Each structure stands twice: as C-alpha cells, then as structure tokens.
C-alpha cells in the first residue's frame, strides 16, 4: 500500500505551480491503475458487476472526498465508475490529488 494513504489532502493556494514531469511519474507509481492524462489530471475506471455495487463505491468515494475536502469528478453508469481528479484552483495536479487517488484505491482492496 502506498505511503500516500497516510497523508492528508492539503488545500492548494493560487499561484502554486502544478506538478510536471518526473515528479508526476514518481507519484504515479504509487497509485496503481491511475493514468496521468496530459500532466493535467488523474483518471481511472472501476468496473463492478452491477449498478448497486457501483453506486455503493461512489458513496464510499464521496465519504473520503468529504473527509479530505478534495472532490473528484465522478461518472456513474451501470457497472462502471470513472473518476477524474485534479486541483481546480491551479488547473493541474498536486500531491493531494495522488493522496486522494491512493485512498480511493484502498476501497477496492477492502472490497
């Protein structure tokens, strides 16, 4: 399990530059299954056997998002949940985005 799980999302300040290059790739290795898209956001698709399990997962992700004060874009459909994470304030990625992704990954492990 990634050490990121033990961290907490930190509110970002305007003017902080988004992560780029090697910094992104180092963090990406700690969040299995997540893609770094155009150095802008994280993206992952989760598959489920039905709508109910997908919805339950979304609700658990919502709880983590509320605890962390960091809210992803979640798309729910039958048997599938897509999650996009980035820091809106800087329109890019920070360590907190990877922290949230790592915490979301624990839900799949626990399932």
CATH number of residue 39's parent domain: 3.30.1360.20
| pTM summary value | 0.93
In-domain check, residue 98: yes
DSSP 8-class letter at 58: H
Overall domain count for the chain: 1
Closest CA to 27 of 110, 108, 95, 73: 95
The whole domain housing 98 covers 19-110
Which pLDDT value is given to residue 9? 87
In-domain check, residue 95: yes
In-domain check, residue 4: no
Mean pLDDT lowest among 5-14, 50-59, 69-78, 80-89: 5-14
Closest CA to 36 of 91, 86, 79: 86
> pLDDT digit string (tens) for 76-99?
999 999 999 999 999 999 999 999
In-domain check, residue 10: no
Token couple for 37: 């898209």
In-domain check, residue 40: yes
In-domain check, residue 103: yes
Give the H or E element holding residue 83: strand 80-85
């Amino acid at each position: 399990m990634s050490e990121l799980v033990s961290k907490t999302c930190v509110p970002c300040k305007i003017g902080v530059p988004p992560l780029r290059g090697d910094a992104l790739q180092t963090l990406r290795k700690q969040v299995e299954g997540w893609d770094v898209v155009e150095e802008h956001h994280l993206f992952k698709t989760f598959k489920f056997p039905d709508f109910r399990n997908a919805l339950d997962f979304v609700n658990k992700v919502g709880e983590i998002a509320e605890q962390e004060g960091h809210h992803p874009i979640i798309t729910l459909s039958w048997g599938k949940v897509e999650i996009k994470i980035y820091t809106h304030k800087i329109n890019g990625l920070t360590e907190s985005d990877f922290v949230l992704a790592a915490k979301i990954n624990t839900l799949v492990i626990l399932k």
